[in-house]
């Protein structure tokens, strides 16, 4: 059997790190990235005990960095799965729309929408020819529910959801999923609620089996809530 390769963004911690380990334990090769080099190096060291890992530090909004990720996947035989997990809130706590600094709002859309689309464009030639070809875009309930202070992030995730749905129509041979993982005990969640106790949120590892089931079963393209997956 040919070893499959997954490209995961924002994989140094949180959900990205947990999903990377789940895929590694399933025998997937990994190309992972994160903006913080030391965190990424630690994650790569742990994951390399389980599988072949290429770790490239950088920002997904950078054209050259995305090209590096695609080239790394090509060296491993091509990507079979792309997980667009890297996200940003635009502020901590996320600011209301009335006072949202426009440079931060632009960055929110670049990280959460434009970068995933751009990386998908680069990897589509790989994904189209893979029997397992799939894109998993990490979404949020803020994409469909109106929460005060979540306008920038929620609007960006809503745009990502819609782009996912359109891509699924345009690329019927590739599975395209937008998945709301639910509230999890991650750094992003802590940034959304600075100074608050978020220990009541479940750990990211709790949703990994559901995401792996989605990948294994190749469910139809669409938007899913992790808690409803088996």
Question: Per-residue pLDDT tens for 156-203?
Answer: 999 999 999 999 999 999 999 999 999 999 988 999 899 999 999 999
Residue labelled with tokens 């960055």: 107
Residue labelled with tokens 């079963």: 217
Q: Give the model's confidence band at 11: pLDDT under 50 very low, under 70 low, under 90 confident, else very high.
A: very high
Question: Does pLDDT of 1 surpass 60?
Answer: no
- DSSP letters of the chain? -PPPEEEESS-SSHHHHHHHHHHHHTT-EEEEEES-HHHHHHHHHHHTTTS-EEEEES-TT-HHHHHHHHHHHHHTT--SEEEE-----SSSSPPPGGG--HHHHHHHHIIIIIHHHHHHHHHHHHHHH-TT-EEEEE--GGGTS--TT-HHHHHHHHHHHHHHHHHHHH-TTSEEEEEE--S-SSHHHHHHSTTS--TTSPPGGGTHHHHHHHHHHTPPSEEEEGGG--
pTM for the model stands at: 0.96
Average pLDDT of 206-216? 97
pLDDT in the model for residue 65: 98
* Domains annotated on the chain, with CATH: 5-228 (3.40.50.720)
Question: Per-residue pLDDT tens for 17-74?
Answer: 999 999 999 999 999 999 999 999 999 999 999 999 999 999 999 999 999 999 999 9
Question: Per-residue pLDDT tens for 61-116?
Answer: 999 999 999 999 999 999 999 999 999 999 999 999 999 999 999 999 999 999 99
**151-170 and 102-109 helices cross at what angle (nearest 10)?**
30
Question: Per-residue pLDDT tens for 143-155?
Answer: 999 999 999 999 9
Average pLDDT of 9-13? 96
Question: Cβ-count burial of 32 within 10 angstroms (0-12 exposed, 13-18 middle, 19+ buried)?
Answer: buried
pLDDT in the model for residue 177: 98
Question: Cβ-count burial of 162 within 10 angstroms (0-12 exposed, 13-18 middle, 19+ buried)?
Answer: middle
pLDDT in the model for residue 230: 83
């Amino acid at each position: 059997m040919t070893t499959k390769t997954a490209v995961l963004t924002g994989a140094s911690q949180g959900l990205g790190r947990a999903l990377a380990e789940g895929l590694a334990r399933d025998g997937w090769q990994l190309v992972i990235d994160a903006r913080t080099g030391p965190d990424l190096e630690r994650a790569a060291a742990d994951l390399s005990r389980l599988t072949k890992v290429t770790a490239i530090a950088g920002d997904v909004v950078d054209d050259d960095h995305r090209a590096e990720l695609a080239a790394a996947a090509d060296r491993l035989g091509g990507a079979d799965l792309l997980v667009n997990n890297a996200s940003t809130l635009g502020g901590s706590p996320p600011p209301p729309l009335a006072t949202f600094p426009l440079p931060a709002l632009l960055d929110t859309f670049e990280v959460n929408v434009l970068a995933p689309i751009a990386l998908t464009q680069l990897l589509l030639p790989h994904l189209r020819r893979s029997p397992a070809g799939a894109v998993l875009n990490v979404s949020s309930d803020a994409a469909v529910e109106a929460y005060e202070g979540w306008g920038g992030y929620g609007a960006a995730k809503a745009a990502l959801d819609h782009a996912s749905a359109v891509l699924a129509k345009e690329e019927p041979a590739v599975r395209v999923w937008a998945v709301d993982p639910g509230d999890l005990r991650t750094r992003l969640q802590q940034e959304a609620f600075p100074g608050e106790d978020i220990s009541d949120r479940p750990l990211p590892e709790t949703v990994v089996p559901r995401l792996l089931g989605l990948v294994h079963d190749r469910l139809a393209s669409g938007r899913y809530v992790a808690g409803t997956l088996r």
